[in-house]
Structure 1
Amino acid sequence: MSRPGDDAPASPTPPSAAVQASGPMGAGVVPLDQRHLNFLFDHVADVIFFLEVLGADRYRFVAVNQRFAGTTGLRVADVIGKEIDEVIPPASLELVKRHYRQAIETGKTQHWEEVSNYPSGTKTGEVSVSPAIEADGGCCFLMGVVHDVTEQRRRQQELSILEQRWRLALEFSGAGAWEWQADTGLLTVFPAWQDIVGMAVAPLRTTRAALASWAHPDDVADIEHAVAGLLSGRSERLDVEGRVRHRDGSWIWIRAQGKLMVDTGGKPKRMLGTITDISAIKSIQHELELGAIVFQNSHEAIAVVDPGGRILTVNPAFTRMRGYLPDEIVGKAPRVYNAGLDDANIYDAIWEQLHATGQWCGELWSRHKDGHVIAEYRSIAAACGADRQVRYYIEIGTDVTETKKAEELAWRQGNYDALTGLPNRQLFLDRLGQAIERAREEGGGFTLLVIDLDRFKDVNETLGHSKGDLILKEAARRLIDGTGENDTVARFGADEFAVLLRSAFQPGADRQAVGEAAQAIIDSMAQPFLVGDETLHLSASVGITHYPKDATDMESLVKHANQAMHTAKEQGRNRYAYFSHIMQERAQARRQLIKDLRACIAAERLKVHYQPIICLETGQMRKAESLVRWNHPQKGPISPVEFIPLCEETGLIVELGEQIFKTVVRDVGRWIRDNHAEMQVSINVSPVQLLSGHEVSERCFRMARNAGIPDRTLVIEVTEGMLLDNNPFVIQQLRQIVDHGMELALDDFGTGYSSLSYLKKFNFHFLKIDRAFVMHLAAGTTDYALCDAIITMAHKLGMQVIAEGVETEEQMRLLREAGCDFGQGLLFSRPVPADELGGWLASGAPPWIGPGTPFPDV
């Protein structure tokens, strides 16, 4: 066996062979010499190859015939000595190796069909590979034979495609095929028949009885006559129309066409044909009959126009809608009733689209014969003949005047504020978005102002909403008068407005112009408002932000303007403030603090401390105020002045208040039980808590009742501001507190809206003097005089007085001389945890009682 590189012949000699021959002279085994083998090997019609098995899925070509080269396009000399990985296309390699392994493992010939890409093209072959098994069971050679079936498969595919095309043609024609056998009378139908009439594909008998079972009784005679004429030779083809029963019970019209096939003697043999559903055609005839009725009775105005644009006919609805009688309008062009309110080029565009697509629809303004204007929805369609040339234009008009009015009203209501007539928030945001897009395209900028009327809520509550509405309308007018025609003014909320200044913002000169515009708005709002006989003075706070300096998206611009407006309010109102990124950082820090606060309250991690309240005569502690403390895990202690307003703003104060109440009830109950102490603890209550509903109050009352603590143990502290609104619900809640055995204390007296009517209306037990009066307390001062007056008044009204913020012995002495009952402050103790206060109760000797303490002997 030659190796690659040796002088091997073009067709290597195949292994020797012998064939069993037989002839007229007898039979026997005739050896084939090498010439015969070479001839067979090279001239056989199939590809033959021999492979040496090298092991581990490795095989080497040792012999191939000339048919191999002719089939694959590979030269024999380029194949011999190479392994199959170098010859067989990669896509076929795994398939080939799998069958080679099976031949070796089973010792049997393997057969498969293989499609491979060779230099000669894509070839399809039926492959057989046989193993040469040796005496020891091993296999050293494989012999393969490939029968090229590429052309055969191509022809089969072509036939399949032709058959598929025939079926598709029949299918898309909408026709169903059938075959009738003359000798049996059976009618065989094909699947499309079932699609048309819903009948089964099984053969049908064509006896008169069978025909009558599925054909319409009125059409059976026509069908029989047509078939008889074909069978008798009177006609060459079958062509008949009739109705057949659909499976769903309805009747459909079909057209049956066919041709008779005869045998060599001219006797009818079979008939082949198709059926077509012509129900649509039949319905058209019916529709044409209805067309005149519809035309005459339609509620829509219909005009038929010739290709030259002249009206041929109109229906009665046309006359009712536009006022023209047929003899007044026929022969004229539709422009007679066009109102001329649409774009001047609209009619050229209509004809251009009609010529291009054959139809147009849209809204137009037309004019009635008497002159009034009509909003109409008009559709125009071209009606073409068989030659696709336009015969007519059908124009249909619908009066949508009332609908347009309703839509315009709805659009205005959805986009404009009903009170001021200004664009509302929705329309303003739309225009803001347009301004952003325009600024991006042109590379410019603009300024956004948010204006809020200061303390407008007080106006509504004192004068009523009707007068408040008059002020809002006047404020809107002043804003419009103070801005340019290209600026947009909108009502953003209850007492909040927005102004979009379209002039581009540039640092420097334009910043001054923007500030002047904002100040002009503030000055205009500061002018007196005349409401009936009332003259009111208001102010406004303005927030300013710029595109693109401060933000480039709508949401951020609005948010930044609001942040700037709130900053102006915090700085004292009646002013404007520019947005700065420090505001953003503060707002983010505030949001994070609220998030942390929410998590801490949910986990009940805020602690309750108690600050003793001391009897100024004896130095004894019989009272304490509960105070909540928050020790942030990262930021450390956070003042209640910072987080309590956040609790009230977010509503968390309700949940926190219940937690504090539960903790106080538990601690007080323990002190009374363990130390037999007469202890009274006050709890601060927010207006938000009182307005949160009866359920919260009832839960707190139930806690106190279940704990079994004596009446008057708990004192509820409220501020004067809580009483300002004179809210009936708040009044009811305060009275229920007293009814449930608790006492009331009026906190921070003298710092808010102090009114003796509060003291008269509510049964307060304690009056607390604010630390503002105590911190500078000295003999002969105004603060001393005020404290003395408050104490005297409270005693006369039957209330005891507690002074807050006592820090020096001099303050304590002066308060005691004025008759103050109790003192609270750092002179005695800071707020302490419950266990520490409980220890003082147990010892009976709190730290402020000792040598040198300015209290009488106790």
Structure 2
Amino acid sequence: MPAFNGYDYARVRGRMRRALAGPQIAAILPAICLTGFWIAGEAALVLGALLLPVLYVLAGSEAERAPPAAAPRDAVTGLPLRDTLERVLDHALRGTEPGSGKTACLILRIDEFNAFRDRYGQSAADDAQHRIAGRLHGALRDGDVVCKMGEACYGIALGPVMLLDLEAVIQLCTRLQGAVEEPLALDATTVYLSGSIGFCLGTRSPLPTGASLIAAGQAALREAARFAPSAIRSFSTEMQKHRQGGNLSGSELANALENNQILPFFQPQVSTDTGLVTGFEALARWCHPERGMIPPGDFLPLVQESGLMERLGDKMLVQSLIALRRWDEAGVNVPQIGVNFATDELMNPQLVEKVRWQLDRYGLDPQRLAVEVLETVVATSPDDVISRNINGLANMGCSIDLDDFGTGHASISSIRRFSVARLKIDRSFVMKVDRDIEQQRMVAAILTMAERLGLSTLAEGVETPGEHAMLGQLGCEHVQGFEIARPMPFEQTVEWVRAYHDGLIEAPKFGRRSG
């Protein structure tokens, strides 16, 4: 006979509570009293009067299980905080039994919110969080609870649902993402945000506690962050074995660089005119032997704090040039590789000679290297060393790509001063460009300016065929994003390029808009 544990006791108490506190007790109690009096007389009434209070005590009162009315709330959104979420889930799990309502915990985080805050300011960030909180409320039922879990992060406890399975929760997640992605009016500008969600069904919680269910939802969110933006992941026990995030140390990071755990993954870029692959961008990924794939947002700040950004940049450059050589040897046409250069690297007086030496070492033409520089660096950098390095790389023949264009307010004079050859239009302008006329006008203005300045253009973060088609119609020359392919290790790139080009039975042509 199985042991009667604390979880079983909690289920019995929940069953007793519902029986004693539910509306059915009003109909049943008089019948029980009359039957008892008919069988045993006054003794039955006395015994019932004594036993009923005892049963209420054993079952626990309504006040015991209800969250306090005056729970602390977030100052920005007015939502209750994590403690409330944990108490609500505790209550829901205690009442779980076969045939009763089921619950789940969802953790939603707004994608790339730090970049949004840096671009528009803290006041706009607070306003966005407040309005998204209202949208989430509108997308849920009255019995569901939304709480604030930190900046740009929301926790959701689903009220008891009789039929709650994986498919139902995924559909709910999609509805919540749709609420987040609705256009957000900000002064005279319309902006778009997206959200990634991790969730865990109450029946899959590692332990029958609210804290455990929240931790499972957070583990699923970390997994979703690897595939953001707009990713959804359900909790699995494997996620507990690969915890990521804040426990990383500088020594662990240095060891990872030494042992080639941090390597470039490559995301393709294609022409909107021919459909052919025109290059790849190299993106750093940490393949941890115990924690699995760690997203760049979790380790790049540590790289910066540890003073290892230049060392990481050297590794990314060398591995990218090796990739170019290997593509050539495999007979795969990849015209160019884009490598991000951080401020620390650009301040090295020996940078131009170092890059020249590496290109000569692998026998590669400088034109095949695209040096990607953040617009914020170009817009704010007064450093003559940075200016000399960027112009020196351009004079060598490297292409200078201005990354995340539209977020750093670079002037036309600074674009000229840094010999920029291509603008990479930031994802915030690309989202919903096929459906939002204001987005189309913004992109069209950027493309017109680029054309007048003789600059090439590439749109980042393209996620749908509609966005791809509209960008081509507007005149953007290259696109990059999940709609084409996610970043992949080198070993997958050769087969991917061949399969992709084989699939181009007829290169897509998008008619350009006049004017």
TM-score when normalising by structure 1: 0.30
TM-score when normalising by structure 2: 0.49
The answer to which structure has the higher helix fraction is 2
Looking at both structures, which has the greater relative contact order when contacts are Cα pairs under 8 Å and sequence separation is at least 6? 2
